[in-house]
Copies of this chain bind each other. A is one copy, B any other.
């Protein structure tokens, strides 16, 4: 039931209305691994870092059952670095600095020990890198999940469309779904995207929850209403990690089980935003997670008699 995760491991420096993070660990694959490792081992990590990346972080991931054979450490180079500042509403942010560093010429290499992973998640990266990973797998995974972003639609749409044909589930936010489909209505956007390759589509709406589309079915999961969102960075990746981690644990990729997996992802994301970076994620207990899942049941379940 192994899970392979492809994405960035990086440094972030974040400013929110609540304060400044300083230089902390970030990256899509980092968040996915922390979330998914609650449910499944091994998590086979594929990424690249510079020699400035802290050994302590790598050790912490190893202790969680995250395999690092596929993480390249580039001597004499620096890790990917991003800094950004959130606006008061926490839904918009400005990127202040983006230094690609080791990411500029990343060529992922899938170790032999990762072959046969039943689940694969392609975090947000250039579509060429995502395709390269798919091409290196000797056995097609049971489920391939892909994340992407507006930027790749602008600079690499042709490659993006090729990867789309190879994946089972695409995960994007609402503005990305609109850009990819050219449709404003999310329902119409979903119908169009489901003709482009993936059989499943998740549209993430941040604090407004997430929608799962498949054939004529649709499922909605809210975000947990919180007193404060301290730092939204990584919430989408954490959601993705909880989602695919739960699927890998249960080895059930039915639509019904995906509904539950989305709730699990939402619960993980609700922890993520409580502190800067991954710090809250690293300490979540099973008791806390189960309590939050119970809160989701209370939040959305209702009895209905037909009228």
Q: Please tell me if A300 contacts chain B, counting CB pairs below 8 Å.
A: yes
Cross-interface CB contact of A299 among B89, B208, B218, B297, cutoff 8 Å:
B218
> A109 on the interface (CB 8 Å rule)?
no
Chain A 284-303 against B: per-residue CB contact (8 Å), 1 yes, 0 no?
A: 00100110011011111111
| Complex: A286 Cα to B226 Cα, angstroms | 37
With A260-B302, A307-B39 in contact, is A220–B225 under 8 Å at CB?
yes
Chain B residues whose CB sits within 8 angstroms of the CB of A211 once the complex forms: 225
Asked if A298 contacts B217 (CB within 8 A), the reply is yes
Whether the Cβ atoms of A299 and B225 lie closer than 8 Å is: no
In the assembled complex, the Cα of A260 lies from the Cα of B228 at a distance in Å of 28
Instruction: Give, as a whole number of angstroms, the nearest-CB distance from A173 to chain B.
Output: 14
Of B186, B229, B260, the residue contacting A304 (CB under 8 A) is B260
Those of A226-251 within 8 Å (CB) of chain B: 226-229, 246, 249
* A209 interface hit (Cβ, 8 Å): yes
Q: Is A151 an interface residue (CB 8 A)?
A: no
Q: A306 at the A/B interface (Cβ < 8 Å)?
A: yes
Q: Residue A307 contacts which of B220, B229, B290, B305 (CB distance < 8 angstroms)?
A: B290
Judge whether A128 is part of the interface by a CB distance below 8 angstroms: no
With an 8 A cutoff between CB atoms, is A185 at the interface?
A: yes
A259 to B300, CA, bound (A): 9
CA distance A88 to B185 in the complex (A): 11
Chain B: CB-nearest residue to A302: B259
* Contact A303–B260 (Cβ < 8 Å): yes
Would you give the shortest CB distance from A64 to chain B, in whole angstroms?
A: 15
196-215 of chain A: CB within 8 A of chain B: 205, 208-209, 211
Q: Is A157 an interface residue (CB 8 A)?
A: no
Tell yes or no: A94 within 8 A of B by CB: no
In the complex, which residue of chain B has the Cβ closest to the Cβ of A209? B222
Question: Which residues of chain B have C-beta atoms less than 8 A from A293's C-beta?
Answer: 304, 306-307
With most chain B CB atoms within 10 A of its CB, the pick from A225, A227, A229, A307 is A307
Closest to A88 in B: B184
Q: How far is the CA of A3 from the CA of B198 in the complex (A)?
A: 49
Which residues of the other chain, B, contact A305 by a CB distance below 8 angstroms?
260
User: A290-B307, A300-B220 known; A188 and B225 CB under 8 Å?
Assistant: no
The answer to whether A219 and B290 have CB atoms under 8 Å apart is no
CB distance from A234 to the nearest CB of B (A): 20
A residues with CB within 8 A of B: 38-39, 88-89, 184-188, 205, 208-209, 211, 217-222, 225-229, 246, 249, 256, 259-260, 262-264, 286, 289-290, 293-294, 296-307
The 9 sampled A-B contact pairs (Cβ below 8 Å) are: A186-B225, A187-B226, A218-B225, A219-B300, A260-B305, A264-B307, A293-B304, A293-B306, A301-B301
